[in-house]
Structure 1
Amino acid sequence: MAACAGTFGAGLATPAAAQGSYSPFNETAASALARYVRTLASDPKDFDALIGAGKSALELGDTQAAAGFFARADDINPRSPAPQAGMGAVSVASGDPQGAIPYFARAIQLGAKLSTIACDRGLAFDLLGRQADAQSDYRLALTGADGDEARRRLALSLAISGDRSGALDAIAPLAAKGDPSSGRVRAFVLALSGDPSGAMTAADRAMPGSYASVGPFLQKLPTLSAGQKAAAVNLGIFPDAKGTAYASATPVRSYPTITGSVTTDRLSGIDNLLRQPAPAPAPVRQVATATVPQRPPAYAAPVQRAAAPAPHKIWLQLASGSNPAALPAQFQRIKNKDSEMFEGIRPYMAKSPDKVRLVIGPFRSAGDADTFAEDLGTMNVNAFKWSNSETDQIVPLATE
């Protein structure tokens, strides 16, 4: 899982460092940590740099280093809720939900908004077997900076509590936009729901050739307690005959400890970290059309015939006919079956010489399209893959 941006939480099922951009400078967590360390080398009392370093270390899976940064930040500004929220996230990531709750309570006392700590506090509740409380917190976080991660955790929590349909609905919007973690979450949801065969199919689709490594893990999930399930799928902590094992290995990383005015290299390799070059700015893509609505990363910008011929893309066709005016009502009828599944999904009209089609997408791959089509099938919506030609005109469908 990715880390929660609001309170610095992290899950280990998908290392955050491998998940792409890292705001505010489109950095990886490792590059961000290096930048904060440079700042702290000059000013060890820089509060914002300490918080940023704690967050970055936690994103990289080093809870010990993160705790050190947050503790130092708390010494400098004990009236700020940020260090307390960070320590709560550290406790959660370390598998100590009971120890996390007081930190979150203190953060709220110091002025933290509940919505900013809800993603991580929800995971603490999940680890304690309090799925209803967890799901309430995740829903609070859905519209904030932690929205995608809260949605992943919500799906897993719903599956743990036996609501397979709700879990698949929760993850569907992320799957539709090609979220890289949604395939893994779907595999976990199916395994938690007692469908090991479906789980393995989903796992192979998300991680080809993964049967030997994840098969036993997925098969054993349904036998665990609720709290153990939450720890397994969110943190990679899995109980075995000897006590506790880790389902996914996280490499040991090296970070400094800031003590007074001295930067102490308590772990090896920090020089290599500091020598990493700053990331180049992301290239700006020029678009020839007037106004192009922003899309999630998995989607291409809407295809405009006025700009250029449409490249071949993968869509899901929901309906077709000869009357363009009928498509908005058809889409609304489909959406009304499960509005949450269509959250954030915009419909398009594909105009061919002989008909018009109601489509959604485009999808990054045929596998992503198949996954969403399967989810639509659970609500009795027949959808199938369709690829446009260069002569097809594809425009956003006016739904209002």
Structure 2
Amino acid sequence: MSALHNDRKTFGIHGGVHPPENKIQSTSEAIGSIPLADELVLPLNQHIGAMAIPAVEVGENVLKGQLIADADGIFSATLHASTSGSITAIEEREIPHPSGMMADCIVITPDGKDEWIELNDCENYTDLDHQQLVAKIRAAGIAGMGGAGFPTAVKVNPRADNPIQTLILNGTECEPYITADDMLMRERADEVVAGAKLLAKLLNNPEEVLIGIEDNKPEAIAAMRRAAEHSAIEIVVFPTKYPSGGEKQLIEIITGKQVPSGGIPAQIGIVVQNVATAVAAYRAVRFGEPLVSRVTTVVGDSLLHQRNIDVPLGTPIAHILSAHGWRQEESDRLIIGGPMMGFTLKCSDAPVTKTTNCILAPSITEMPAPPPRAGLHSLWHVCRGLPGQPLTATAFLVFA
């Protein structure tokens, strides 16, 4: 057994970096919550694939968990009310996107009751067949919560010619600042394991069920080992290095196999799911809960309070920042995700979606603005001053 207490051999990957982790700021307290916002804005497309189709009308009253938009085909996902209230608009609103684009959204004004629909609890869900379980996950609107947003019902229903030998749950979370999965594993390890078992059943019980975690998460590792103690699930720990949480990188680290260029993991008998996705799938089939909230890291030195919260989908980011004492004058930008793969948010009115794992509000000192890039006009004058032959417009474009 290695120093990392693995029975399994792990493998290295080429390249990678060790940026400052900045994890401890948001892990000093349990996952929390904040008061409901005055309105919730739910984009119709929070997943890879076709946009969902509204199933409600303006003026209609809804309950928490009620279907408000239906999936448009296989590669789509349903959408549910994240609290009880009234539908006050179906219109274009700002969404979290690098371009600052607007998109169709359903707007709910909460009634303050947070009243659930009647949920279909299923204690004996392991007795259900494959298609019944897939239908429950599809109906709950589960999509990949690690960032990609791939509809989960599709991923757990691979083609018959791609038999799955290995299921991997990704608890790596290698991106600096983000600790949503870390805290989820610390506090809800039993549900992560239950989700792993469910996904394994859906994949016809692969030979291996592995949960990969970087070695910078000792509390999560200990919790997951306790939860998996009497199961065949392996907790695989490996050295911390970015980007070990990437799907293809994680597969190589844990199995030594490489996904073919342009291919998908199922082609080599592997399926990878995020730990939060596994929990959401479990709660969908066991308790009948659709995906209406998620754990999100709220972090950055411009905030008075840094932590993780379980936040209703559709909550405006401005509301979350306000609840955490955002000092806007000390912040140059807002980032959705981490500093490596995240993007700058154009408008703080944009809402949390199924894929929002982190809201990063760094101070100017913590993350200074990049130096301005020279425009083409300035570059033209610089180049014209170079010694040698006169610079033509064509040569300038090549030079630029």
**TM-score per shorter chain, which class?**
under 0.3
Higher helix share: 1
TM-score (norm 1): 0.22
Higher strand share: 2
TM-score (norm 2): 0.22
> Which structure is higher in RCO with an 8 Å CA cutoff and minimum separation 6?
2
